[in-house]
Structure 1
Amino acid sequence: MRRVAVGVIGAGKHGQRYLAHLREVPELAAAAVSRRDATRGREDAARLGCRFHADWRSLVADPAVEAVVAVVPPALHPAVTDAVAAARKPLLIEKPLATTGAAAAGIVRVLRAAAVPCLMAHTLRWNAVVRAIRTHLPAIGTLRAVVLNQRFEPSPLAWLDDPSMSGGGILLHTGVHCFDLVRLLTGCEVTDVFCRTARVRTVRTEDNFAAVLRLAGSDTVVAVSGCRATRGRSG
């Protein structure tokens, strides 16, 4: 079986999950890793038996890398996608896509022009429970209400509370998973949103929210909420 050689840009807390998954999926192989902490990056590469690149641009250009996973702050996404598009390599990129709507639209234009396959990391779509619910929904009956909630411990990452780097708080970084599930499970697009946000532990971005959504052509009641100021995580 041929394995796709993957390069991972960003190997911090979340990036480590991707490195672990590369060892679990038989169709994939770790080809290279890049991270700011060169010492730990070399340790990661040695553990995986792959190359280390101190500069992520050299990872993208590496002929041994066939596809790229980007696990970096969204402020870096435009530069990463420009390089990946120029190299004509498939890309898996973390959400949010960018820090602003204009920057996100620019990324989409670049990737479409290069005809580069790109997947946003809406990982809950592939969750076994979610897939089972979607499969059996027709037999269960008409979907009348969707109520989704997520709770997380406060993040130690300072850049998450810097809008210039993160683009926003919990809405963009974890709330998007729930919004994506609403579209996936209902098959409808959102037309109207009422949302309240608050800051519990953060200073510059929201870490607490509740939203009510109206769907196009549907009477399904939808409520989504999340908080990143709890003792643990659920949802």
Structure 2
Amino acid sequence: MLSQFRSRAGDSRTLSVGVLGVGNIGTVHLKSALAMPDVTVVAAADAVPANRDRAERAGVERTYDDYATLLANEELDAAVVALPPFLHAEAVERAAEHGVDVFVEKPLARSTEEADRMLETAARAGIAVGVDHTLRYQPDVVGVKSAYEDGDVGHVPYASITRLNDGPLGRPPAETAPPSWPLDPDAAGGGTLLELGVHCFDVLEWLFGELEVRAAATGRTLDIDVEDAATVLLRAPEAGTTITLHCGSYQWEELPEVNTRLRLEGIAGTITNRDHLPENFYAGAARAALENVASRVGVADRTVFGPTFYLQAHYDALADFLEAVRTGEEPPVSGRDGQRSLALAERAYDLAAETATDEVELPEVRP
């Protein structure tokens, strides 16, 4: 069966890439792409002047204050969409108009309805859509999958996954106001279930096959308009596995060293992602959570990205997507994968609403 996507291999050995959004995660994607062989970042777009300055210091020759203008003026093979969720659909539509394949930051969209429209637009234009679900690329998670597929622990009747992060205000004390969109359910689509939960849904289906959501609860530890805590009970019928999932964006004074915990309880043993962490993980984390390696390559103040444990997953995910673009194959983490994670999140929201609890009970802390 022939691929619906056009191979770029015959066009040029080097892929031309644009980065739409150069905030926190957009900078990660930008520096990843700059470090890749046979990839040229020709332009970046961001409405914030400081972010455009950052892209230029990293070595991008042209920057724009509007992503639509970039897409209209540059000859691109692919674009990285690292914009807030409420802009994803429009950015994909503009890219489709110009025949540009897109690598979209998660969540793919704010809803399955919006995702379906995006994917229909992409299909009509014949462009590929990839999604940055990076848990599949973390070496500890890859190790769990390999051990599970080897069958050493036999049938796995129960599994659990936890994904944690800093809350929307950052670590206490909060000194600066966060961007408004993550706290706006219309702009973001939701809270921690879309910020962190979609990663978990994606990697669980990668491990166990199609999932069913059986129960869910969401709550808020802060007085905000989106949930910052969620717990979901799932069932994987094909694997015969029951799974609990918890995700939370809390105001940690110290974030746990490993913010993803994955555990498979097999009838002949247990597999955990901690067993598959690199030997130097803790030493590396102590040196720097986000470490960049400075390298002079003929342009003043240009830095070349040196991936650490977590950033390596983003690098590998983008590299795999661009290789699929080069060969005209479907991306390994496709738009349909992103849509599927959204569908599971929506089902969890529906079930949580049936037994809604507006607040999470916190224990009293005594001095």
Selected match of 2:191 from 157, 169, 183:
169
Residue of 78, 83, 90 corresponding to 1:67: 78
Gaps of 5+ in 2: 1-11, 169-177, 261-367
1:84 and 2:106 are equivalent in the alignment: no
| 1:108-187 correspondence runs (5 A) | 108-139=119-150, 140=152, 141-155=154-168, 156-186=178-208
1:228 aligned counterpart, secondary structure: strand
State whether residues 32 and 65 of structure 1, in contact with CA within 8 Å, keep that contact through their aligned partners in structure 2.
no
Shift of 1:28: 2.5
Aligned twin of 1:222: 243
Contact 1:73 1:165 in 2 (8 A): yes
Partner in structure 1 of residue 284 of structure 2: none
- Percent identity between matched residues is 25
Which gives a bigger RCO, structure 1 or 2 (Cα 8 Å, sep 6+)? 2
Q: Deviations over 1:118-137 (max 9, x none)?
A: 10111111222222322332
Q: 1:55 Cα deviation (Å)?
A: 1.4
* In the alignment, structure 1 residue 17 sits paired with structure 2 residue 28: yes
Counterpart residue number, 2:232: 211
Which stretch shows the higher mean deviation, 17-26 or 29-38?
17-26
Q: What's 1:195 paired with?
A: 216
Which SS does the other structure have where 2:250 is aligned?
coil
- The 2-side partners of 1:49 and 1:203 are apart by 37
Q: TM-score w.r.t. structure 1 length?
A: 0.92
Whichever residue aligns with residue 159 of structure 2, its letter is V
Match status 1:28 vs 2:39: yes
Shift of 1:230: 3.8
Of 33-42 and 166-175, the range deviating more from structure 2: 33-42
Q: What CA distance in whole angstroms lies between the structure 1 residues aligned with 2:219 and 2:194?
A: 14
Task: Give the whole-Å Cα distance in 2 for the aligned partners of 1:175 and 1:59.
Answer: 32
Structure 1 portions without partners, runs of 5+: none
DSSP 3-state at the match of 2:71: helix
Separation (CA, whole Å) in 2 of partners of 1:129 and 1:32? 34
In 2: Cα distance, 1:15 partner to 1:149 partner: 25
Match of 1:7 in 2: 18
Structure 1 contact 146–182 (Cα < 8 Å) conserved: no
Which whole-Å CA distance do the structure 2 matches of 1:153 and 1:202 have between them?
Answer: 16
Once structures 1 and 2 are overlaid, which stretch shifts more, 14-23 or 84-93? Answer: 14-23
Distance 1:106 1:49, change over 3 A: closer
CA distance in 2, matches of 1:27, 1:185: 32
CA contact (8 A) 2:191 2:226 kept: yes
Structure 1 residue 38, shift from structure 2 partner: 2.3
Shift of 1:152: 1.1
Instruction: Report which stretch shifted further, 109-118 or 18-27.
Output: 18-27
Alignment TM-score, normalising by the size of structure 2: 0.60
Report the AA paired with residue 164 of structure 1.
Answer: D
* CA distance in structure 1 between the partners assigned to 2:195 and 2:239 by the alignment: 27
Q: Is the 8 A contact 1:4 1:27 kept in 2?
A: yes
Deviations along 1:108-161, whole A, 9 cap, x unmatched?
111111121110111111222222322332322333322110111112332111
Q: C-alpha separation between the residues in 1 aligned to 2:223 and 2:230?
A: 13
Superposed displacement of residue 211, structure 1: 0.7
Q: Is the 8 A contact 1:212 1:222 kept in 2?
A: yes
- Give the distance between the partners of 1:93 and 1:142, measured in 2 at CA: 35
* Amino acid in the other structure paired with 2:131: M
Distance 1:43 1:129 in 2: 31
2:276 match: none
- Kept in 2, the 8 Å contact 1:213–1:221? The answer is yes
Q: For the structure 1 residues 182 and 73, does the alpha-carbon distance in structure 2 shift closer, same or farther, using more than 3 Å as the test?
A: same
In 1, Cα distance between equivalents of 2:18 and 2:201: 29
For residues 75 and 250 of structure 2, the distance between their equivalents in structure 1, rounded to whole angstroms, comes to 42
Q: Matched residue pairs, number?
A: 234
Q: CA deviation at 1:39?
A: 4.2
